[in-house]
Amino acid sequence: MKWDESILRVASCWALAAIFAVGLLRLGVKLREFQVEDAADYRGAASRQSARRVRVPGLRGRILDRRGETLAESRLAACLVCDPAQFQRRRYEQTCAAIGDAARALGQALGRETVPSSNTVARHIHQLRAMPLVVWRGLDERELAVFAEHEADFPGFAVEEEEVRAYPCGPLAAQLLGYVGRDSGAGAAADGEKFHFYLPELRGRAGLETYYDSYLRGVPGERELTVDANSYTIRARAVEEPQRGLDLRLALDVRLQRVAEAQLAGLAGACVALDPRTGDVLAFASAPGYDPNDFVPRLDPARYRRLADDPAKPLLNRASGGAYAPGSTFKPLTALAGLSVGYPPGATYPCDGVYARSGLRLRCASRWGHGELDLRHALMKSCNPYFCNLATEIGTNALLRTARAFGLGAKTGLDLGVDMAGVVPDADWKARQYHERWFFGDLVQMSIGQGMLLVSPLQMARVAGALGTGYLVTPRLRADAPTERQKLPFREADLRVVREGMRMVVAGDGVSRGTGWRGGLDVPVPVSGKTGTAEVGAGARRRKNTWFVAYAPSDAPRIAVAMVVENGESGGGTAAPKVAAVLKRFFADEAEGGASS
Amino acid sequence: MKFLRRFDGLLFAAMLALVAVGTVTIYSAGHARAAAFFHGVWRSNLATAGFGLVLYFALAAFDYRKYLDFLSVPAYALSLVCLVAVLLVGEEVYGGKRWLWFFQPSEISKLGVITLLASLLGGRWFAWLDGFRGFLLTGALIGVPALLILAEPDLGTTLTLVPATVVILFVAGVWRKGLVTLLAVGGLAAVAVLGAVYEAEKPGVLPERRAQILRYVPLKPHQVKRVRVFLFPEEDLRGAGWNLRQAKLSIGSGGYAGKGIGKGELNHLKYLPPSISMNDFIFCVYAEETGFVGSVVLLTLFGLLLVSGCRVAAVATDERGRLLALGFSTLVFAHVYVNIAMSIGLVPITGLPLPFVSSGRTFLLTVMCGLGLIQSVSLHRE
């Protein structure tokens, strides 16, 4: 018994050793499963839980004029950011307070009084703590120098670069270029998306910046953050560098644009210059304007309100979005409508200064009348009774057909969001709009470009060019957009008559001057054109919008211009000399380098 | 010289190696924390190990046969006093009163219980203690500190007393039949508790039904939670299941060769909560940084240590010495097994330290004293 017991005791020691060995072996086998067989899965899961993917936007492309001059570009501005991880405390309120205190201290050193509100900081720490918090934007040289000097005293702060949009030409072509905005702050991407965080990019908010937004926009890159268990970023690495967006080359000619805007300085109006062969928009001015740099780095709501509420409507792009009665600039189309249905160009009409029929009285520009006129002279003198009479002879349909053949009442196809169709009124339209039938007076009014007819300066530039070339082009702002043009459905002989009349508007008939004689002043090539003075409003608010449309050289036009000046004196007196200045500049540049054609 | 030849070099070398591993791992875990205090914990741990070595050699040099009886009774009595004191004046940390000033009485009580059992059951009173009577008396001697520790509450430490006690009683031959029966009953009870928690926590159980079942389960809510995490490790990963999930990710992502010492991602990024990464879950830090290779090294070191302990027990010429060596070896094994097994989800999470590796000075000294006693058993035999 005693012997057995001692054997048992010794044996139990070794048995226990065996049990220990088996236990440790069991652990080893299980650990092998974890660390060898399934290691890749665990490693993947571990890195997934600490990885945050950030979408980093690329810089936006530039907008250039036809010669390569920069109209809009993205620059890098210094901003001061704070790394929340450096301020990590046990409770997130403490973290927010630590950031606030540090920012105030740094603000004192930099001379910046405002710091992000505690609300802003709290929201950032709550939702976006993995991302740096932008404390100040747009640091200047002095502030950067001060920060560089004291950087060691302010751990957790760093200078980062941020994209800002700049418009080097200031207010030039402001409504055309538009402006950009940024969705407020960095955002957390929605579930199921590739990225955890989303840095907003600049987005076009108006003009070309909007229309060509996807073209200009950069290609986003990717950054991967490694966050700790509390979602603070410990380190970051670039996975894919973002790329700059494409540059948008415009057909616009900055030099011509400058002249056009200078002519409109202090006025309200618009000027569009086109190449009638290609549709290239050479100048696209709208006055009054604004400086899009005022919207950088961000759109200030008060300033925007002021612009939006301004009765002069500086935000309105009058060039393609302004709705004007064309006035007498419509008369070449009335003339062509007549010719197309066989109205003889030699037929004369005795103008006695007033057109009266069926209880309608319409005065002519010449108080005592022009006397006997044929079609060409009627254009030259812009005789109202002549065209009223002509319209009554040919009827409404011929007039409508002609207006529509020249693209009136329809969008021009311009590559811009603002592309007003205007109105070419007919009986249906009037019935829908006013619940009235089509009167004889509507036809007469339309024949001289008044009444319900509404056009944009862009449409009229296109009309002028089409009259000169016989082709209606689709205007294009982007230089490498394809040229689209349509042959006009009119006989060449008829067009020639109208062109002769439009040439006489500027050049006269050898005996007397045409109404638009100033449109050819100092222009080295023959100019053809048509004046217009459209009366709008009634009574005390009656005012005149003055027009001049032109193309030059008369025999083979390379430029077509439409200019409208609100509250002018007369088309010939107010608008024509301004058009002449634009034309003069165009042909001077052409002679100098030939670069514009 | 003959005396020195009986010095168990392997037991000692394995211990030193484990202290080294522990110091490096505590260094790494400490540096993942922001507070500078934790950066220096490895140093105080090393100093404690130095003090532990002094105790180790003192206990080893003297003949345990002479001092054990005089040591065990005061040690047991002192640990009882401390255990009562900690309940009265102890500091409450993480919902438990475990700290009396600078030490944990429950750790010292392990020393007291094992030495007392060894000296009682291996000594001259054994004949009187045989059979059911002995079982009742020893049961009472263990039961008092066990209940006091349970009251802290510290279920884990209480349970680690069980295997050491069972081994001592079994080898000493106290009422073996009853012991085996009791173990079987205990095992069945544990399975029943697990089953009940499973029934209560499985998906789709109505709250009323869950509460009804849990009323009959003798566990506190946080213990139920731990059992639930053990049973359903993929549930509630952001809440109760977070620690186990992160422990598994740490160990698994360590891979074959590990990420390098000081480069444990989950440790440094605090996915492994810093409050547990230096103590109960330090194996995760070690396994992430040293990989499977490191795990095997650690298990091997513990294996050498434990087998040496058993060998000392086997060759001991004195019954008390045998029981001492087996008792402390079992104590160490229980800690090692439960600690690593809970990190990989083999057993429910219990707050047990990993000997030598977890930072914790009281426990380190306890274990080193225990090993010093084993060494003394090895040295004093003829």
Query: What residues make up the domain containing A451?
Result: 254-292+317-593
Split at pLDDT 50, 70, 90, the class of A145 is very high
Averaged pLDDT score across all residues of chain B: 87
Subunit contact A46:B271, Cβ cutoff 8 A: yes
B252 interfaces chain A, CB cutoff of 8 Å: yes
Question: What was the ipTM of the complex prediction?
Answer: 0.93
Phi-psi region of B30 (alpha: psi -120 to 50; beta: other; left: phi over 0): alpha
Provide mean pLDDT across the span B232-257. Answer: 87
A5 interfaces chain B, CB cutoff of 8 Å: yes
Same domain, A455 and A473: yes
What backbone torsions phi and psi does residue B148 show, to the nearest 5 degrees?
-65, -40
Of these ranges, A86-100, B71-85, B326-340, the one predicted with the greatest mean pLDDT is B326-340
- The CATH number for A137's domain is 3.90.1310.10
Run of H or E including A263: helix A254-263
**Is A4 among the domain residues?**
no
Chain A CB contacts of B255 under 8 Å are 35-36, 39-40, 43
How far apart CA A357 and CA A439 sit, in angstroms, is 13
Same domain, A232 and A264: no
Subunit contact B255:A43, Cβ cutoff 8 A: yes
The predicted pLDDT at position A596 comes to 44
Same domain, A110 and A125: yes
- Identify whether the C-beta of residue A375 lies closer than 8 Å to the C-beta of residue A347: yes
**For residue A280, what are the β-bridge partners?**
A476
Provide mean pLDDT across the span B230-248. Answer: 85
Same domain, A232 and A351: no
Same domain, A88 and A108: yes
The predicted pLDDT at position B70 comes to 83
Split at pLDDT 50, 70, 90, the class of A169 is very high
Subunit contact B271:A229, Cβ cutoff 8 A: yes
Of these ranges, A570-574, B71-75, B103-107, the one predicted with the greatest mean pLDDT is A570-574
Residue with more model confidence, A257 or A595: A257
The predicted pLDDT at position A9 comes to 82
Same domain, A336 and A215: no
Provide mean pLDDT across the span A310-331. Answer: 93
Q: Which of residues 448-467 of A touch B (CB under 8 A)?
A: none
**Is A27 among the domain residues?**
no
Boundary of a domain, candidates A214, A249, A284: A249
pLDDT reading at A341 higher than 90: yes
Provide mean pLDDT across the span A546-566. Answer: 95
Q: What is the DSSP string of A148-193?
A: HHHGGGSTTEEEEEEEEEE-TTTTTTHHHH--EEE-SS-EEPPTTS
3-state SS class at B104 = coil
Boundary of a domain, candidates A196, A225, A249: A249
Chain B CB contacts of A21 under 8 Å are 303, 306-307
pLDDT reading at A375 higher than 60: yes
When CB atoms are compared, the residue of B266, B295, B306 closest to A31 is: B295
Same domain, A340 and A402: yes
The predicted pLDDT at position A597 comes to 44
Boundary of a domain, candidates A249, A277, A304: A249
**Of A102-111, A184-193, A384-393, B135-144, the least confident:** A184-193
Same domain, A336 and A229: no
pLDDT reading at A1 higher than 50: no
What is the interface size between A and B, counted as CB pairs within 8 Å?
135
Residue with more model confidence, A367 or A470: A470
Same domain, A325 and A415: yes
- The CATH number for A533's domain is 3.40.710.10
**Is A17 among the domain residues?**
no
Provide mean pLDDT across the span B15-22. Answer: 95
**Is A144 among the domain residues?**
yes
pLDDT reading at B126 higher than 70: no
Measured between CA atoms, how close is B73 to chain A, in angstroms?
Answer: 25
Provide mean pLDDT across the span A191-213. Answer: 84
When CB atoms are compared, the residue of A20, A45, A228 closest to B269 is: A228
The tens digit of pLDDT for each residue in A48-90 reads 888 888 888 899 999 999 999 999 999 999 999 999 988 988 8
Q: Which of residues 333-362 of B touch A (CB under 8 A)?
A: 333, 336-337, 340-341, 344, 346
When CB atoms are compared, the residue of A34, A226, A228 closest to B248 is: A34
The alpha carbon of A132 is separated from its chain's Cα centroid by a whole number of angstroms, namely 32
pLDDT reading at A281 higher than 90: yes
Same domain, A235 and A278: no
Same domain, A167 and A278: no
What backbone torsions phi and psi does residue A159 show, to the nearest 5 degrees?
-95, 130
The predicted pLDDT at position A214 comes to 92
Measured between CA atoms, how close is A23 to chain B, in angstroms?
Answer: 7
How big is the CA angle at A117 (ends A112 and A122), to the nearest 5 degrees? 135
Of these ranges, B28-32, B79-83, B325-329, the one predicted with the greatest mean pLDDT is B325-329
Q: Please list, in sequence order, all residues whose beta carbon lies within 8 angstroms of the beta carbon of residue A559, skipping any fewer than 6 positions away.
A: A273, A274, A275, A276, A282, A551, A552, A583, A586
Same domain, A414 and A491: yes
Subunit contact A46:B249, Cβ cutoff 8 A: yes
pLDDT reading at A174 higher than 50: yes
A234 interfaces chain B, CB cutoff of 8 Å: yes
Q: What percent of chain A has pLDDT over 90?
A: 63
**Is A490 among the domain residues?**
yes
The predicted pLDDT at position A192 comes to 54
B326 interfaces chain A, CB cutoff of 8 Å: yes
Split at pLDDT 50, 70, 90, the class of A594 is low
pLDDT reading at A189 higher than 70: no
How big is the CA angle at B266 (ends B265 and B271), to the nearest 5 degrees? 145
B205 interfaces chain A, CB cutoff of 8 Å: no
The tens digit of pLDDT for each residue in B307-355 reads 999 999 999 888 889 999 999 999 999 999 999 999 999 988 888 899 9
The predicted pLDDT at position B1 comes to 63
How far apart CA B33 and CA A90 sit, in angstroms, is 12
The predicted pLDDT at position A488 comes to 94
Chain A CB contacts of B303 under 8 Å are 20-21, 24
**Is A213 among the domain residues?**
yes
**Of A138-152, B31-45, B123-137, the least confident:** B123-137
**Is A577 among the domain residues?**
yes
The predicted pLDDT at position A187 comes to 63
- Total domains in chain A come to 2
Provide mean pLDDT across the span B22-44. Answer: 86
Subunit contact A13:B311, Cβ cutoff 8 A: yes
**Is A16 among the domain residues?**
no
pLDDT reading at B365 higher than 90: yes
Task: Tell me if the bond preceding A288 is cis, omega within 30° of 0.
Answer: yes
The predicted pLDDT at position B216 comes to 84
**Of A6-10, A567-571, B191-195, B225-229, the least confident:** A6-10
A1 interfaces chain B, CB cutoff of 8 Å: no
Token pair in block for residue A26: 């069991």
Provide mean pLDDT across the span B24-51. Answer: 87
Check residue A244 and report its DSSP letter.
Answer: P
The predicted pLDDT at position B223 comes to 83
How far apart CA A329 and CA A334 sit, in angstroms, is 10
